[in-house]
Structure 1
């Protein structure tokens, strides 16, 4: 099935610029078994975790609800107050440390508020019960908690297709896009940005662009550095201390997966139906697995084969980052083979892509981030948008909203940035990682 069609929507078999409506399924892989994501209280969970562990989860959850944590300062406090000690230690503690490279006790609670939002055990259980009797087939699913959303819209050829289309529109309207360029200096006078200096891979000579408005998605750490020594010392200090987590994706092409679909819904070649699988196992570095066939089958040229995306979280310059492509492919294949999801002889091809500063971190000097925000918001014609641009762990949908709202603000002459910063703090709608 190549995705459902909206009643009057374009046919993906005939046109490329189309959004597919896809079913969302994410699961957790733990103890070499699959669990619902988020965890549901059902027979599969009881069987997988064991009755005694489930009793501990229930007991520690009730305990924290009867006697709540008074001061929720760290991410550890946030998780325990929301889910209880046993569930936190089973499903959140080690995985979050794998993602961030530091323990939950050292991460600000803001991250949980940003990513988990209104999800709780109670809501997960109620959703499980409700879904048996009532199915919300609308793509909006506005009454559904973010982590429980069942459907999503997805471009035929993946998210990159959207930005290629946007680039075409910009050029058609007379705009220009300078690729492979680095901003090295940002000049300002008083409370206004005047110009930015950049050099590109094709032209190392420094060039300047003037403008009336400047919209920044660059990492705030680099933005502060680019503004130079006129920036107050305290703001420079906070900017220099902001931290990030870097990311490596491994694409693997396989003849088939060892894991097979055991659900009631048939799939081509018994391919498991997951979009994402969270790898909870402690004996591998792998954090998450994507099955690209299940995002859009149009991204896979031969549907008898399987394209996987393996996701690793690391720090630029660490052991994982410094591996060669060949070394990393061998390492990643061994990990998947070890946990029983593939037979390594089924691997046909692979590639490694490294992306720095993928996740803005909620530690380092983050507790003083308000000092940076107050300073940068003071520039009348500078607007910060996106994940790195705001040092805010938004997903792509909310990053897009920050851009759209910024344009509305500029057109209407609004200089306050408050409504942009409020995106994904007031709304209850979020696709959770």
Structure 2
């Protein structure tokens, strides 16, 4: 297989959208979006991995179908997106539909033109989108898997925005291909493992039953915490890499779980003896903050015996990237990496290559292949199945601050 060198070369920019911000009278910034960029990114569906915020009071003027003025903006504190003072249902009732393209003009002069409006994070890495994700109290603009759009746009609390329909159904095909939903009812799933998205990772030289992944065993937002917590105990997990939480979040979840009679004792016991690393990551796996924080968590992991569990909220996006990275480090092939990544979509949505090939391919091509293109620093034309991902994985960890010795210690912990 072809090896990728450690020296990262720029990938040609794909300028699908533009963010034009006029700050003052003369300053303008143009942000191009590229899968190899090291800055733009915010949530993904796991960026949905956050407590539901309170819906603000509606503030806007709907003077015509497909036109909203006077929307007050506020910063999404977890991921740096831009919240607008209107609920998803109210926004859709004003002449917008998932799959449309929209123009957004902010009162500070920043404009987003022709961006997609989806009910999930279906854009390429770093591309702007407007999203009405189920469970969000408002619509939100963000950079898909990117940095803070709020900061990039130079906004302040109290600024306002106008949203105008650009083209109806401009992104209808993408919306339909990715529009899937799961339930939080255990009886809708074949087993506790499927419901909790709990499984052992595999591929390359990765040792069997040493590295596990799952939905959150502490945050019961999706009703999966008690199942994931029980399964981690059953698997003998000794150390947890918690990608989504910090101490305050865990304390809040634990209090709520206790109040509701939800048993998450196995997770809390590991935390009480220092066997949980709380990383509180965003979904931006290309950012320096993500990389450096992950590196510290992985270094801490090497100081503990396994088995190990990696989780976020759904165990799908942040967890998907981190497990892909660790599997790649152990020499997993494209097919092995894809099998594990796409298993989450089988578990949550029943989407497999046989049951729903069109959706399977659409999700794999956008989400999974996008991660591999970033990791290997290649463009859309690259043959991803021919690449050896060991060196790209090592380079990622090197650039995150890990030494060769620390990377080798990590491999020794998880490889057979």
TM value normalised by structure 1: 0.24
TM value normalised by structure 2: 0.25
**Based on CA coordinates, which of the two structures has the bigger radius of gyration?**
1
